[in-house]
Chain A
């Protein structure tokens, strides 16, 4: 299957300006359109290994980032469009790349209700997935990035999509979103890490996206079984620990971190039940990435052996 990186620079730019580059992202097809050169550069860099869909494939999410009218141009603002609607206020064009990524997340967060969706990073090794729910700032993306740069496969930095009635996670790889101090932490951890455009002064501070599809199977869409649910917490002032936690309390916290648990009602309850039945639950409090990775490697060996 052809990847976006297989296109010439000219074909990439023309395809993105015309909105005729259907991109396979997990089980979905996005059609992206933009006239912003920073965004085109970011997509060219971070999505180089993503497969392209056939021209006549069904497009799930049709989105665009472009300037609208003279006022928008004078203010250097860009609008995000989803199916020709503008669900958000315009943003400064220097932060347009972050808006594209957030908009792509939003599409899945507000749709895709065929799955139980948790706000969680998902990583895997040897076919065993670890689901890491967390509120923004908990340190899940930093940990996810470090794992992705250390031989783990990143299934998602944002959405754990669970097939109801199973513990199967649908891979939905996209670049890992890092904020503020996390960007420097990952630069120090892996000086060769590849980042997309830096978006400063967003409502989340400075944001950058990391290319983390380093595993050969990164764009494989087959589901993987979850065996661990891990609740990471980055805390500088606390002792580091990896400790087992209650399944029922984990259920409630995971439901809190779900985009659609309440919407799915009884189906959501049963889907969460099937997931929790299949996973071991842990808290991970960390401030040292190397320590966290060593402990997760050990946990992976233990779960794999079990």
Chain B
């Protein structure tokens, strides 16, 4: 199973813990974590499996952070699916 952010949205990112994300198909605006914004940017380029996303997370985060990120990732993906800004393909 893969995840994919079909439409590249728009981001308001000013190096804070949160990022504003505008999703053009729904017209909705979301306040998401910086890590969720990172995932959405990557998943707008191409669909990825959970394993690929974990590899990405490993390269993007420090070892200490990786443990918590890898635990949180499945839940975060589900949250983004529920918000209709990510789809499972």
Q: Which residues of A contact B (CB under 8 A)?
A: 246-249, 251-252, 255, 261-262, 265-266, 269-270, 272-273, 276-277
Instruction: Please state if A246 and B24 are interface contacts (CB–CB under 8 Å).
Output: no
Measured between beta carbons, the chain B residues less than 8 angstroms from A269 are 10, 12, 20, 22, 29
Instruction: Please state if B29 and A248 are interface contacts (CB–CB under 8 Å).
Output: no
- What's the minimum C-beta distance from B52 to chain A, rounded to whole angstroms? 28
- What's the minimum C-beta distance from B78 to chain A, rounded to whole angstroms? 22
- What's the minimum C-beta distance from B7 to chain A, rounded to whole angstroms? 11
Instruction: Please state if B10 and A251 are interface contacts (CB–CB under 8 Å).
Output: no
- What's the minimum C-beta distance from B22 to chain A, rounded to whole angstroms? 4
Instruction: Please state if A252 and B16 are interface contacts (CB–CB under 8 Å).
Output: no
Instruction: Please state if A249 and B18 are interface contacts (CB–CB under 8 Å).
Output: yes
Instruction: Please state if B18 and A246 are interface contacts (CB–CB under 8 Å).
Output: yes
20 contacts between A and B (CB under 8 A): A248-B13, A248-B14, A248-B16, A248-B18, A248-B20, A248-B31, A249-B18, A249-B31, A251-B31, A252-B29, A255-B29, A262-B27, A266-B10, A266-B22, A266-B24, A269-B10, A269-B20, A269-B29, A272-B12, A273-B20
| 6 new A-B contacts at CB < 8 Å, known A248-B12, A266-B22, A269-B10 | A246-B18, A248-B13, A248-B14, A251-B12, A251-B20, A266-B10
Measured between beta carbons, the chain A residues less than 8 angstroms from B14 are 247-248, 276-277
Of A248, A265, A272, A273, the contact of B24 (CB 8 Å cutoff)? A265
Is B86 interfacial (CB 8 A cutoff)? Answer: no
Is B43 interfacial (CB 8 A cutoff)? Answer: no
CA distance in complex: A160, B22 (Å): 22
CA distance in complex: A20, B55 (Å): 72
- What's the minimum C-beta distance from A278 to chain B, rounded to whole angstroms? 12
Measured between beta carbons, the chain A residues less than 8 angstroms from B16 are 246-248
CA distance in complex: A279, B19 (Å): 17
Of A248, A270, A277, the contact of B10 (CB 8 Å cutoff)? A270
What string of 1s and 0s marks CB contacts (under 8 Å) between B1-40 and chain A? Answer: 0000000001011101111101010010101000000000
Measured between beta carbons, the chain B residues less than 8 angstroms from A270 are 10
CA distance in complex: A9, B27 (Å): 51
Q: Report the nearest B residue to A251, measured CB to CB.
A: B20
- What's the minimum C-beta distance from B67 to chain A, rounded to whole angstroms? 26
Measured between beta carbons, the chain A residues less than 8 angstroms from B22 are 266, 269
Instruction: Please state if A276 and B31 are interface contacts (CB–CB under 8 Å).
Output: no
A252-B29, A255-B29 known; A273+B18 contact, CB < 8 A: no
CA distance in complex: A276, B27 (Å): 19
